[in-house]
Amino acid sequence: MSVQRHTEGESNTSPAGQQWRARDPDDPGRSLLQRDSEAFLHQSLSTPCLSTIAKAEGIWIEDLAGRRYIDFHGNSVHHIGYGHPRLIAAIKAQLDTLSFAPRRFTNEVSVELAESLARIAPGRLSRVLFTTGGSDANEVALRLARAATGRFKTISFWDAFHGAGFGASSVGGEATFRSHVAGPLLPGAEHVAPFNCYHCAYGHSGPEACALACARMVEFALEREGDVAAVIAEPMRAVPVVPPPGYWQAVQAACHRHGALLIMDEIPTGLGKTGRFFAFEHDDITPDIVTLGKALGGGVLPIAAVLARDDLNVAGDFAIGHYTHEKNPVTARAALTTLQIIEDEGLAERAEHLGSHAVDRLRGALKDCAIVGDIRGRGLMFGVEIVSDRETRTPAPDLAEQIFYACLDQGLSFKISAGNVLTLSPPLTIERQDLDRALGIVEVAVKSFAAA
């Protein structure tokens, strides 16, 4: 079996993307887009930009021409919406009180944040380290696993994304971030098929049976390699793909048998997005190390965190993540306030309720659409798979891209994942009527292209 290595979907450089950008010759943002293209290093998925942004508030973003979009993408940072008033006020107050702290001087808010994460986390995840981004958090987790086990190898999954650093790219499985241009990646990074491998996804055997066979493949790799420090994985793939019952329990048991640690990358899925504070809680496990990021800064400031068991506090004699802003009181205040907002407003529970409604509605509305292969997700992270053949679930990336731009024209922004999955990830604060409005835009677009 050849493993499919998916990349992102909609492309700003595709003919459809170029046509969309050129749709309005009088757009006041055209000159800014040109300046952006000339000022920044170009890279896949972010250059050139599709449009400008002048304002972000709640669930909305607005461009320089005054066009407004409900944002169902947000790079997974907007759990509490954009510019939450309570968060903005807390950050402003912190700036007036203490704006920076060198690493060797602690401060109240950073310690309170670490204690709050330890309180929220299940099991013995009581030790914390902060970084400035999720990729760095995964680098710290990998270093810690090496220090704790005395091993250097890892097992991860094709199609996974863990960041852009060399270590994070090495354990990641997306072709875009494993480009030959970067040269050899880190040694010892072994990969296996994810629980949504080709056979499972395309119906060549029963999905649950096949996925649990994939769990046995993890144990096979652990056994054959013999000296693996950690298995690192996303608890739920942000494509999105939900693991079958028992999958992570089987993988964790295999890790325990072979002396490997289990690292869960909760950077896009954590902080209540799936209806639980941590996505792995759906699967009745507690990993050895967890990484958080993206939404932790409330969609305002960059901060990420590593949570580990207390007995993994073994790296005191050397640096595993020496970051200048490790205990920055302003970013810590942003994260602490974000946690408080999620708890006080019951946003995890809200995500579970609204997500169930959204998936049920989409399944009902699109059940007869020949171009829809699957509708799946957890909480407010769900997606619609666009195919050219419903029986074989043959991906239709060009069709997915056309649907994306049709929705964008109607004021809804989202992301295409795996080339053909309309990935819908609204803020946890979204009102029911706004959610239904966005779902209606998707339904109309999908049905129109299905009819065509």
φ/ψ of 379, rounded to 5, equals 55, -140
Contacting residues for 58 by C-beta, under 8 A, at least 6 apart: 81, 82, 83, 427, 429
Q: Any idea which of 117-121, 210-214, 341-345, 439-443 has the lowest mean pLDDT?
A: 210-214
Please give the radius of gyration of the chain, using alpha carbons only, rounded to the nearest integer.
Answer: 22
Do the domains spanning 15-71+347-451 and 85-344 agree at the CATH topology level?
no
Provide long-range contacts, Cβ within 8 A and 24+ apart, for 195-200: 195/241, 195/243, 195/244, 195/247, 196/159, 196/237, 196/239, 196/241, 197/1, 197/3, 198/1, 198/2, 198/3, 198/4, 199/1
| Tens-place pLDDT, residues 337-395 | 999 999 999 999 999 999 999 999 999 999 999 999 999 999 999 999 999 999 888 99
Stretch 311-332: mean pLDDT: 93
Stretch 407-415: mean pLDDT: 97
Stretch 200-219: mean pLDDT: 70
Instruction: Give kind and range of the element (H or E) at residue 92.
Output: helix 85-97
φ/ψ of 271, rounded to 5, equals 65, 35
| Residue ranges of domains in the chain | 15-71+347-451, 85-344
pLDDT given at position 207 = 56
pLDDT given at position 1 = 27
Stretch 414-423: mean pLDDT: 95
Above 60 in pLDDT, residue 105?
yes
Above 70 in pLDDT, residue 180?
no
Contact 299, 78 (CB under 8 A): yes
Stretch 195-204: mean pLDDT: 61
pLDDT given at position 103 = 86
pLDDT given at position 19 = 80
Mean pLDDT of the chain: 91
φ/ψ of 31, rounded to 5, equals -70, -35
φ/ψ of 299, rounded to 5, equals 75, 15
DSSP secondary-structure letter at 162?
-
Provide long-range contacts, Cβ within 8 A and 24+ apart, for 308-314: 308/125, 308/127, 308/128, 308/129, 308/141, 308/144, 309/123, 309/124, 309/125, 309/126, 309/127, 310/124, 310/126, 310/127, 311/124, 312/127, 312/144, 312/148, 312/261, 312/288, 313/127, 314/144, 314/147, 314/148
Given CATH 3.30.300.30, say whether it is the number of domain 15-71+347-451: no
| Tens-place pLDDT, residues 133-143 | 999 999 999 99
Give percent of the chain above pLDDT 90: 76
Just give the CATH number of 85-344: 3.40.640.10
| Tens-place pLDDT, residues 260-302 | 999 999 999 999 999 999 999 999 999 999 999 999 999 999 9
Q: Any idea which of 11-20, 156-165, 248-257, 395-404 has the lowest mean pLDDT?
A: 11-20
| Tens-place pLDDT, residues 32-81 | 999 999 999 998 878 788 899 999 999 999 999 999 999 999 999 999 99
CA distance 189 to 107: 37
Residue 344 has a CB neighbour count (10 Å cut-off) of 9
pLDDT given at position 322 = 85
Instruction: Give kind and range of the element (H or E) at residue 373.
Output: strand 372-378
